[in-house]
Amino acid sequence: MKGEDLSQFSMRDLFRIEAEGQTHALTAGLLALEQNPRRADQLEACMRAAHSLKGAARIVEIHPAVTIAHAMEDLFVAAQEGRTLLGRPHIDLLLQSVDLLTTISKSPDLESGSQDHTWQIEAERLAGALDQSALAGEGPQPSVPLPPVIEGVVDKPEPDASDRALRVSAENLNRLLDLAGESLVESRWLQPFGQSLMRLKRLQREAAAAIDALHAALPVQMLDERARLALAEAQQRILECRQHLSERQGELEASDHKATALAHRLYDQALMVRMRPFADGVTIFPRMVRDIAHSLGKQARLEIVGDRTQVDRDILEKLDAPLGHLLRNALDHGIEPPDDRIMASKPAEGTIRLEASHNAGALQIVISDDGRGIDPERIREAVTKRGLASTETAAKLSDSELLEFLFLPGFTLKEDITEISGRGVGLDVVQDMIREVRGLVRITSQPGTGTKFKLELPLTLSVARALLVEIGGEPYAFPFAHIFRAIRLPKDQVQLLEGRQHFGHDGQQIALVTAHQVLGCGEPDRDGGDLAVILLGSPGNMYGLVVDRFLGARELIVQPLDPRLGKIKDISAAALMEDGSPLLIVDVEDMIRSMEKLSSADRLTKLHSEGAGETVSKRKRILVVDDSFTVRELQRKLLDHHGYEVDVAVDGVDGWNALRGGDYDLIVSDIDMPRMDGIELVRRIRQDTRLKSLPVMVLSYKDREEDRQRGLEAGADYYLTKGSFQSDALIEAVIDLIGEAAA
């Protein structure tokens, strides 16, 4: 293995590396053979993989692996020679054999050999079953006509030695990227330095002109020989300085170009080391889909599109659990049994499609199925049954609004609980992961046709393309992936509607909010020109954020904030400008929530007001803390309808930050939330000198007595379950704790 230092690996470590690649090849080949058992290329690939594993296991004396790989190889040879036609029973046995090989290679007992006897017994059992299958002839005939036989063998090119894997720790990889990023930032100081030389050159030119003017202004008769020589010498020196500066400036520009290009190439190469093909993170899913479908009595296959799409290593690792949940949901909830599909004029075998692509500077992953789809009426019924909305409110919800309920913790449409689904756990995990990496998830469904989940994620967590703006004399960055549009708005297009400032754009009225008010950094500039506005949000729920001015687009190297700072409101990370000065990267989703809070509380300031002038509300203020957008909005609208002023927070950390910066009469909090749960939030409130007497209500899905007791012991004044509460119950509880809405 040219170019790699393998001296630190034992022989059995090398077997692990070999087995990882060969078992993946076997799994992919077997799934392809299950669709078409006559594929000569896949039979050849599987036979070679089993043969290679047998040889590697024999060298390191792992006898159970030798036994099972040898039996697999014999069965593949029998299939190649036409003595056996691989059917589902054969594929099941072969996949079980792959599982045993995977277990052996990944076991911590591989070096000691303490499990060899147990593995040998299982290997001999599977080998005996495989040998019988090879002697049994064709085996079961498939129930559908086979695709055409593929003649010949497709030889896959051997990877070049330079493409072989070299194992590097994640810590060293991150440090390499950090250093490459620092070199890129350091290379940028040459450009402003070159610009300063331009200013020096201009000053020299002005100095030369001043000397020439002095020379012209002085009568010749007033200058003696000595003065004339001194003046000529000064002019000559100025000329030499200008020539020397011009030469050095040219050299500096060339050096700047080379250094910047080299730093960019170094950083791009270091970044590529972090990138992995999408296929690396989804190798287990075709097998998983196949096995779950069989256990459910269904037929389904997984199509993976865009497997070579490059994905950041950290994002790829975080995708494993969410994609697994979505695929299991598609199999259990979406794909119908074969008989039902045939009656619906569909193929007996369902198709799930997993597609990755780069789109508009973001990573887009789409998971779709051709199953039964989601009936919005079933969601509507479940929403009212759980008391999440009244019958009247639920009847007014659109299909897209109803689909958002699927992301609530504990929400499920499944009547029975199985090992695969029905516990209401899954889609909330997907949404938590997407939020963690500052991405978006959207769901669409057509009853009878299928369901589609679209995940939009940053290409990498290390680099962000962003729009730089100035707010209060400081630069801020808005990632392009999270802004809708940036426009210049003439001030005469601003309208006043119901006391709030709006403007028309693409057929909708968009509320205007100043970034100064959101960030709390004083008054905006009023130069009389057009307004610099960033459109944030989605169609139908969009805000126009007014900033002082646009500074242009930049590619920023993201620097995480010190974790000791906790979550900073409206800010996600930091970066460095070309001159090394720092700037903050805005958390756009957090900022949208901040604007929603200001809007719902009717505290938006006007652009043309003479003072800061926020309206001071005399209504009692309630802070609703819940990680579900739907639940937050339902509670906010309900409490607002009864006269309370309501702010919202997306989790415990956001709620804690809001409490430290505002005065509230009551907190209504969920328990299960990311970053900081409700129990920890209640504990912090009770330990704070200023907040310890603040009334707190817990509103949770957990209705067991021990959960209620846990919430009350933490310091909550009231515990209400979401599964049973109605709007009247919530309002009555609020009145019990803080009285009517009027101050």
The residues near 49 (Cβ < 8 Å, ≥ 6 apart) are: 22, 23, 25, 26, 29
- Decide if pLDDT at 271 tops 80: no
Mean pLDDT of 180-188: 70
Q: How far apart are CA 634 and CA 393, in angstroms?
A: 9
Judged by phi (left if over 0) then psi (alpha if -120 to 50, else beta), residue 739 lies in left
- At 141, the pLDDT band (50, 70, 90 cuts) reads very low
Mean pLDDT of 254-282: 80
Q: How far apart are CA 261 and CA 267, in angstroms?
A: 10
Judged by phi (left if over 0) then psi (alpha if -120 to 50, else beta), residue 384 lies in alpha
Identity at 232, one-letter amino acid code: A
Query: Residue with structure tokens 């799409």?
Result: 309
pLDDT, tens digit (0-9, with 9 covering 90-100), for 30-60: 988 888 888 888 898 898 888 888 888 887 8
pLDDT, tens digit (0-9, with 9 covering 90-100), for 453-484: 999 888 777 777 789 999 888 899 998 877 88
Q: Is the separation of the CB atoms in 686 and 668 below 8 Å?
A: no
Mean pLDDT of 596-604: 68
Q: How far apart are CA 726 and CA 405, in angstroms?
A: 17
- Decide if pLDDT at 154 tops 80: no
Q: Is the separation of the CB atoms in 544 and 498 below 8 Å?
A: no
Q: How far apart are CA 652 and CA 664, in angstroms?
A: 15
Mean pLDDT score of the chain: 79
pLDDT of 157: 40
Tell me which CATH code domain 466-600 carries. Answer: 2.40.50.180
Judged by phi (left if over 0) then psi (alpha if -120 to 50, else beta), residue 3 lies in left
The residues near 185 (Cβ < 8 Å, ≥ 6 apart) are: 557, 576, 578, 580
- Decide if pLDDT at 664 tops 80: yes
Q: 621-738: which CATH architecture?
A: 3-Layer(aba) Sandwich (3.40)
Partners of 300 in the β-ladder: 350
Q: How far apart are CA 241 and CA 280, in angstroms?
A: 60
Judged by phi (left if over 0) then psi (alpha if -120 to 50, else beta), residue 649 lies in beta
Would you state the structure tokens that stand for residue 306, as one six-digit string? 């865009």
> Which of 144-148, 367-371, 406-410, 697-701 comes out lowest in average pLDDT?
144-148
Identity at 630, one-letter amino acid code: T
- At 342, the pLDDT band (50, 70, 90 cuts) reads very high
Chain Cα centroid distance, residue 228: 74
* Structure letter (DSSP) for residue 152: S
How much is the CA Rg of the chain, to the nearest whole Å?
34
Q: How far apart are CA 672 and CA 651, in angstroms?
A: 9
pLDDT of 734: 87
For every residue of 251-291, which 3-state class applies, written as one string? Answer: HHHHHHHHHHHHHHHHHHHHHHHHEEEHHHHCCCHHHHHHH
pLDDT of 145: 35
Pairing of strands 474-479, 508-514: unpaired
Q: How far apart are CA 477 and CA 55, in angstroms?
A: 56
Judged by phi (left if over 0) then psi (alpha if -120 to 50, else beta), residue 618 lies in alpha
The helix (run of H) or strand (run of E) holding residue 502 is strand 500-505
Q: Which residue has the higher pLDDT, 454 or 271?
A: 454
The residues near 290 (Cβ < 8 Å, ≥ 6 apart) are: 31, 34, 300, 301, 302
Identity at 50, one-letter amino acid code: A
Tell me which CATH code domain 299-458 carries. Answer: 3.30.565.10
The DSSP line for 506-535 is TTEEEEEEEHHHHHT--PPP--SS-EEEEE
Q: How far apart are CA 372 and CA 335, in angstroms?
A: 6
pLDDT of 564: 67
Geometric angle at alpha carbon 274, from 273 and 277, rounded to 5°: 90
Q: Which residue has the higher pLDDT, 529 or 152?
A: 529
Q: How far apart are CA 357 and CA 376, in angstroms?
A: 29
Q: Reduced to 3 states, what is the DSSP secondary structure of residue 399?
A: helix
pLDDT of 508: 80
Mean pLDDT of 146-175: 48
- Decide if pLDDT at 99 tops 50: yes
Query: Residue with structure tokens 């030369």?
Result: 208
Q: Is the separation of the CB atoms in 698 and 719 below 8 Å?
A: yes
Q: 11-140: which CATH architecture?
A: Up-down Bundle (1.20)
pLDDT of 522: 62
- Decide if pLDDT at 611 tops 80: no
pLDDT, tens digit (0-9, with 9 covering 90-100), for 287-338: 889 888 998 999 999 999 998 898 888 888 888 888 988 998 899 889 999 9
Mean pLDDT of 566-574: 80
pLDDT of 303: 93
pLDDT of 263: 77
- Decide if pLDDT at 184 tops 60: yes
Pairing of strands 571-576, 582-586: antiparallel
pLDDT of 155: 37
What are the start-end ranges of the E strands in 179-280?
A: 275-277
Query: Residue with structure tokens 């938006």?
Result: 604
CA atoms within 13 A of residue 565's CA, in its CB half-sphere: 10
Would you state the structure tokens that stand for residue 139, as one six-digit string? 């085996």
Chain Cα centroid distance, residue 574: 18
Domain boundaries, the chain: 11-140, 171-276, 299-458, 466-600, 621-738
Q: Is the separation of the CB atoms in 137 and 104 below 8 Å?
A: no
- Decide if pLDDT at 2 tops 60: no
> Which of 70-74, 242-246, 497-501, 677-681 comes out lowest in average pLDDT?
497-501
For every residue of 92-127, which 3-state class applies, written as one string? Answer: HHHHHHHHHHHHHHHCCCCCCCCCHHHHHHHHHHHH
Mean pLDDT of 172-196: 71
- At 22, the pLDDT band (50, 70, 90 cuts) reads confident
Q: How far apart are CA 572 and CA 558, in angstroms?
A: 10
Q: How far apart are CA 183 and CA 203, in angstroms?
A: 32
Query: Residue with structure tokens 């590396």?
Result: 17
- Decide if pLDDT at 424 tops 60: no
Mean pLDDT of 96-109: 87
pLDDT of 151: 42
Q: Which residue has the higher pLDDT, 610 or 696?
A: 696
